[in-house]
Amino acid sequence: MLDLTPEQQALREMVHSFAQDVVAPGAAERDKTGEFPLAIMKQMGELGLLGLPFSEDEGGTGGGYVSYAIAVEEITRACASTGITYAANLSLGISPIYLFGTKEQKAKYLPHLFQGDYLASFGLTEPEAGSDAGGTRTRARRTEGGWILNGSKCFITNASYAGVVTTTALTDPEKKTKGISAFLVEQGTPGFSVNTPYDKLGLSASNTTELVFEDAQIPEENLLGTKENVGFKQFLEVLDGGRISIGAMGVGLAQAALDAALKYAKERKQFGKTLSSFQAIQFKLADMATQVQLSRLAVWNAARLKDAHKPFSQAAAIGKLHASETAVKCALEAIQIHGGYGYMKDYPVERYLRDAKLLEIGEGTSEIQRLVIARSLGCA
């Protein structure tokens, strides 16, 4: 186990208590109703969790990415819908502004985002540009005093509750990926709309929407940063950091599945014995515990490298790949251990499986992670 500092251990205990006392009790009901955890997000802002991985110089909490991964894991362990709301808000919503924003852009948005006055969102995926993010079709045309955006984005998290959305668009189509720029689009911008959320398999209380730009009017100062045509490079860096948070979500869901399976196995009796006394069940639980721990170490390693300002792209892809697939496998095993009850909504393990599947898709599918890792090894 990677040694935690006293501060990180204290944070882990604090977030665990908050997650179990505040987040977990309503998780099943939110899954049924789809109620967005906005009040919980505001409480996280009050606790300093919305600024956790960002430097104190910029108004953040200064905890670093290991602390952030710990927080994402514990929140997701209690409720994956709240976990992805939290993770997407920081990794995808706030990070572009924090990493690439001008001094004026940071001063305008970051204090409100760290306090939880509103959320942030990231518009990248399009109907024709998912894993192939270079296939962006949304276009930005320069006009007097700014830009006009036309296009759409799909599968966007938190946008209905975002005060600002960072979105990508082609500013020089002939250059393809080298002609993509990023823009800060505020709610209420003329020509910008957020469509009704999707009806999803899992993560039912998270907000997933479509963004539509119809001659959306973007002022000159809302180009992210100071340069055009660097959006592709910007969002690749954002996605690397985001993969750490998705990996941490995977650890949290896998741990929740293990927790539920172990509890049930100790209580449920068959043939006069508890399930946990049967070697077949013991081996399942042992395998689950092994994979959870390996995933946690992989994610923390990626976070440690990022905190140390060392190359972490390969480590982030490894952590995301292993943890997301472990979450699905652990949820399946937890259902198997529960038997018929695992298939029923009276128990949480069927929800864990529905929630976990997205982790193998979002922020780069498992296939894309393997491609990233292979290329880091020098494969063609």
Q: How many other CB atoms sit within 10 Å of the CB of residue 342?
A: 23
Residue 336 has pLDDT above 80, yes or no: yes
Mean pLDDT along residues 369-376: 96
**Residue owning tokens 């500013």:** 171
Token couple for 247: 């990996």
Q: pLDDT tens for residues 339-362?
A: 999 999 999 999 999 999 999 999
Token couple for 379: 């494969």
Set 46, 144, 363, 367: catalytic member: 363
Q: pLDDT tens for residues 82-139?
A: 999 999 999 999 999 999 999 999 999 999 999 999 999 999 999 988 777 778 899 9
pLDDT at 130: 79
Q: Which long-range contacts (CB under 8 A, 24 or more apart) does 37-44 make?
A: 37/79, 37/81, 37/82, 37/85, 37/205, 38/161, 40/82, 41/82, 41/85, 41/86, 41/89, 41/116, 41/119, 42/116, 43/18, 43/116, 44/86, 44/116
Closest by alpha carbon to 163, among 124, 108, 217, 104? 108
Known catalytic residue: 363?
A: yes
Q: pLDDT tens for residues 14-48?
A: 999 999 999 999 999 999 999 999 999 999 999 99
pLDDT at 129: 82
Contact at 8 Å (CB) between 168 and 124? yes
Contact at 8 Å (CB) between 119 and 285? no
Closest by alpha carbon to 284, among 307, 258, 252? 258
Contact at 8 Å (CB) between 211 and 153? yes
Q: Which long-range contacts (CB under 8 A, 24 or more apart) does 272-275 make?
A: 275/337
Q: pLDDT tens for residues 189-242?
A: 999 999 988 999 999 999 999 999 999 999 999 999 999 999 999 999 999 999
